[in-house]
Structure 1
Amino acid sequence: MAAWAAAARADETLRIATWHADLSRDGPGLLLRDLLADDDPALAAIVAALARVRPDAVLLTDIDYDRGGAALDAFAKRMRTAGLDYPHHFQVRPNTGRDTGADVNRDGRLGTARDAQGWGRFAGEGGLALLSRWPVAADAAVDVSDMLWRDLPDTLIAANDPAHDVQRLSTSAHWAVPVEMRGRRVTLMAFHATPPVFDGPEDRNGRRNADEIRLWQAWLNGALGHPSPALPFVLMGNANLDPLRGEGRRAAIRDLLADPRLVDPLPGRATVDWSRLDLGAMRVSYVLASADLSVRDAGVVEVPEAGEHRLVWVDVALSDEPEG
């Protein structure tokens, strides 16, 4: 698909998007510095692409977190300057960079990036953020990012894992946030899973990646101690797993995509080009609508100036009256 071939949409639809755009830096405060300097071509390309596609809500899955939300505010200001106003945000501290206190990778050192709850050289590196044109019901959000990996039903964490008693399942976060869109409440379910590589024969990362994906069906089944997210909902983010190619326990994402409660609008569409790693194009980012929603259109936008990952968007139409 040409980059902007399907950017227009009917007035009655809502456009929901996710993008693993490169909004992370090597240290705390550097993203804010770059946003304020306004001289980074990659940042300019990200802003321009979003302004062209114009999603009603977009989940960014690789954006640094700071306690005051200064970087997110600066990014939203850049978007306003480009003609797209996102007055409503949702961002909570992610697990990335939070020390577990355990020697997770068994290298004899504590406090390294690999010893964190989610890989990170500093707390908040590469977290999640939601920007929305519509009001976010933050008081009704459910964040399960602090759930221990061992507590997922049928967990794959090894019994002798050095962080068995303290390791959280979420690499970055798993949360469900209601957004009031055109008179209806739509729950946006967000995550970014760990890559299923960069480990040894114990396959710790592969096990964790699969369980981060399986968490969603456990939640929908009511098995996490939280009510299932209300309909309608959209599940989105970076699963870091292709259903057919690459390493990882691919059955986890195939099972999710086959769940009858979900609609997959873009089967087989690549969302990243990993040619530099000799992996080629793969599908790792997803926007999946609940089956009660009417999917009108969907697309993937490649922005080479902004990095390897592509912007994924889906247009859905809401019924006039809530179901129930």
Structure 2
Amino acid sequence: MPRALLRLVASALAAWTVADRAWAQGPETIRVATFNASLNRPEPGGLVRDLGSTDDPQARAVAEVIRRVRPDVLLVNEFDFDPEGRAADLFRRNYLESPRGATEPLRYEFAYVPEVNTGVPSGADLDSDGRVVVEPGSRGYGNDAIGYGEFPGQYGMVVYSRFPIEEEGVRSFREVLWKDMPGALLPTREDGSPWYSPEALAVLRLSSKTHVDVPIRIGDSELHLLASHPTPPAFDGPERRNARRNHDEIRLWADYLSGGPAASYLVPGGQAPEPPERFVILGDLNADPLDGSSLPGAIDRLLDHPRVDASFVPTGAGAAEAARLQGGINAEHRGDPSRDTADFDDDRVGNLRVDYVLPSRGLTVSGGGVFWPTAGPTADSDHRLVFLDVDWP
């Protein structure tokens, strides 16, 4: 990204209006955000390499957006995983905390980098092309991996927080097998036979990245972050294996929150985990309520869940403007364009609402938005940052 474009980003940030909020504000209001920042690279170690300096233009643009909105708790999707968490530390030190930039530095004392299923070899022919690709670095390998990724850890995630992360209390459902979900929407062929072989089903996990419950300690209580990034409902054939998996990945959180028998498959032995009292579901869930290619009702499992309060819908003025100016299939969409959070191909997909911050009932939302300025780019990503301000009891 050239310097001129970086200046344009800074100008857009300065022009974008959001209620001014001091970083030193007390814990009465918590700003929680999710951002699919597209900080992924085509080869292992690429993100660590690029974040090793303060000059990566994409990382600088992403950091400017985050520093402008200044969330207290942030989930970043599409952030390549490395076992030592070096990329997370480098981004924090060289970009969020750097004195360079148009906005004040931002410091997160705590970070959590979960393991993910992307790029983990399955040893099975998951895309049914007649071969099992075991050498990383190609689309064929990604298609046969547990979750799509051309190397282990591609398209991972990181959680940043200014409040303590209680890692000993983290619950991960990354290893839950898709076949173990009662009533799973497993794909079939045109003749009705199973798409996946028994050998494939024995290893195929439901979560394409991970589903993780991360408790954050705020004063004397906890806020649980239910973080995930379901596979997009695309890149498949008439069997719609990715659309079906997307539906069931979203359903996993609905089952978890319902508890009891509905959640018994989530842990070995069938003992359902106790769902959290206060939580926020957040991430790029790749499902729009009205438009796009997700299965009908997929995201409604969360929007209509009795424990979720989805009454406040974040919006962005730039989202509505983009849909109007870009035209294409956007003109056919049924959803309110101001609620869009991602800018996709205007001929086939259009702009959609796919990124969510959904609080539990009992938490009061005092504000929120979609960071989508009406002029200039926001960052080198097809998604926009989404945030909510929650009044903490």
Same fold (TM over 0.5): yes
Structure 2 residue aligned with 1:23, among 39, 63, 70?
39
Percent sequence identity over matched residues?
41
Amino acid at match of 1:53: V
TM-score (normalised: structure 1)? 0.94
Quick one: distance in 2 between partners of 1:8 and 1:257?
Answer: 28
Quick one: distance in 2 between partners of 1:266 and 1:182?
Answer: 27
Whether 1:285 aligns to 2:331 is no
Offset, 1:256: 1.4
Structure 2 residue aligned with 1:101: 123
Note closer, same or farther for the CA distance 1:231–1:7 as it changes in structure 2 (3 Å cut): farther
C-alpha offsets along residues 216-241 of structure 1, whole Å, 9 cap, x if unaligned? Answer: 11111221344233211101011111
Offset, 1:91: 1.2
Structure 1 residue aligned with 2:92: 76
Whether 1:142 aligns to 2:171 is yes
Offset, 1:276: 5.1
Note closer, same or farther for the CA distance 1:60–1:305 as it changes in structure 2 (3 Å cut): closer
Whether 1:308 aligns to 2:390 is no
Structure 1 residue aligned with 2:305: 259
Amino acid at match of 2:19: A
Residues 250 and 301 of structure 2 are in contact (CA less than 8 Å); yes or no, is this contact kept in structure 1?
A: no
Whether 1:244 aligns to 2:290 is yes
Note closer, same or farther for the CA distance 1:243–1:142 as it changes in structure 2 (3 Å cut): same
Structure 2 residue aligned with 1:216, among 235, 250, 253?
253
Amino acid at match of 1:125: Q
Query: Tell me, which stretches of 5 or more residues in structure 1 are unaligned?
Result: 320-324
Deviates further, 219-228 or 102-111? 219-228
Note closer, same or farther for the CA distance 1:219–1:245 as it changes in structure 2 (3 Å cut): same
Quick one: distance in 2 between partners of 1:44 and 1:127?
Answer: 19
Whether 1:54 aligns to 2:89 is no
Residues 65 and 379 of structure 2 are in contact (CA less than 8 Å); yes or no, is this contact kept in structure 1?
A: no
Structure 1 residue aligned with 2:11: none
Structure 1 residue aligned with 2:214: 177
Offset, 1:278: 4.1
Which structure features the higher share of strand residues? 1
Quick one: distance in 1 between partners of 2:258 and 2:33?
Answer: 25
TM-score (normalised: structure 2)? 0.78
Offset, 1:263: 1.4
Structure 2 residue aligned with 1:131: 160
Offset, 1:43: 1.0
Amino acid at match of 1:37: S
Quick one: distance in 2 between partners of 1:128 and 1:197?
Answer: 21
Deviates further, 215-224 or 17-26? 215-224
Structure 2 residue aligned with 1:6, among 9, 19, 32?
19
Structure 1 residue aligned with 2:226: 189
Quick one: distance in 2 between partners of 1:89 and 1:282?
Answer: 29
Structure 1 residue aligned with 2:364: 294
Residues 36 and 381 of structure 2 are in contact (CA less than 8 Å); yes or no, is this contact kept in structure 1?
A: no
Residues 39 and 80 of structure 2 are in contact (CA less than 8 Å); yes or no, is this contact kept in structure 1?
A: yes
* Aligned length, in residue pairs: 319
Quick one: distance in 1 between partners of 2:37 and 2:258?
Answer: 31
- CA RMSD, 1 decimal: 1.8
Which structure features the higher share of helix residues? 2
Structure 2 residue aligned with 1:198: 235
Quick one: distance in 2 between partners of 1:102 and 1:92?
Answer: 24
Amino acid at match of 2:98: T
Quick one: distance in 2 between partners of 1:260 and 1:47?
Answer: 35
Offset, 1:126: 0.7
Note closer, same or farther for the CA distance 1:79–1:260 as it changes in structure 2 (3 Å cut): same
Quick one: distance in 2 between partners of 1:226 and 1:240?
Answer: 27
Structure 2 residue aligned with 1:153: 182
Quick one: distance in 2 between partners of 1:7 and 1:160?
Answer: 52
